[in-house]
Amino acid sequence: MARKKVKLAWITNDSSRRATYKKRKKGLMKKVSELSTLCGVNACAVIYGPNERQPEVWPSFCDAQHILMQFKTLPEMEQSKKMMNQEAFLRQRMQKLKEQLTKHQKENRHWEVTMLMSQCLLGKGLEEVSINDLSDLVWLIDSNMKMIHERTETIKAEALAASKQQAKEESMMKMKVGEEERRATTALEEVVAMEMESLQRQQWFMDVMSPNDHILCTGEEMTLPFVDGSPWLDGCYP
């Protein structure tokens, strides 16, 4: 878990496996002892080590045995109720990992498209960009547009609420935000136009999609990889 992320699998190299075993055994014992102290519970760990005929036990064999015996005397139903078996444990961890994967994929996607937009704003052509990237790009621009619009509305409201004394500055500001919004809209329209040209150049796209459910014509919603259920091009085509 350091210097490099190690895969959760049997370590083939003998030397490093032994080193890891020693370290982790020590760490585990410490953890058991801490849990025991901090929470005032009886706990034990039993490790049936490699090349050893007897396991290492903490805090002692007798304690461990006593604890297990208490458990054994319970009816089986009670046992299984609280017992965390390996399958349930692994299933639970797998679920968590899947969720993390999805989260990371979404984040990655977001940054990819943001970078793409930056390149676009820096004048790089969109000819070689894939359909997926383009549609996500449009979503991102749309999203940013909304933020800009909301922001301009806020600024307008604040300006209107200001005192009459500031009438001149107010009108100047309204001009300014209006201009800002107009420019952004123009930029958006340019990108969308570029995208449509690009689509038209990509013959395979037409081969895959049948004419009557062409994305740009239906107005339906589409789920993008990085934002669940986000309306596609919502508000861009009135």
Partner DNA sequence: ACTTCTATATATAAAAT
Partner DNA sequence: TATTTTATATATAGAAG
Find the shortest distance in angstroms from Cβ 22 to DNA: 7
Q: Which is nearer to DNA, 105 or 130 (CB)?
A: 105
The correct pick among 74, 121, 157, 167 for binding a copy of itself (CB under 8 A) is 74
Q: 């009670």: which residue's tokens?
A: 78
CB 57 within 8 A of CB 29: no
User: What are the DSSP E strand ranges found in 78-182?
Assistant: none
Distances (CA, A) of 137 to 14, 116, 160: 50, 7, 34
Distance of CA 216 to the CA centre of its chain: 28
Question: Which among DNA, a copy of itself, none contacts residue 5 (Cβ within 5 to 8 A by kind)?
Answer: DNA
Which residue from 103, 133, 104 is spatially nearest to 202, judged by alpha carbons? 133
Give me the 9-48 binding string for DNA, x by CB under 7 A, dash otherwise: -----xxx-xxx-xxx-xxx-xx--x---x----------
For the chain, the C-alpha Rg in angstroms (whole number) is 31
Q: By three-state DSSP, how is residue 153 classified?
A: helix
CA-CA distance, 158 to 219, in Å (whole number)?
35
Smallest distance, a copy of itself to C-beta of residue 194, A: 48
Q: Is 43 in the site for a copy of itself (CB under 8 A)?
A: yes
Contact residues: DNA, CB under 7 A: 1-6, 14-16, 18-20, 22-24, 26-28, 30-31, 34, 38
Contact residues: a copy of itself, CB under 8 A: 6, 8-11, 17, 20-21, 24-25, 27-35, 37-50, 52-61, 64-65, 67-68, 70-72, 74, 78-79, 81-86, 89-90, 93
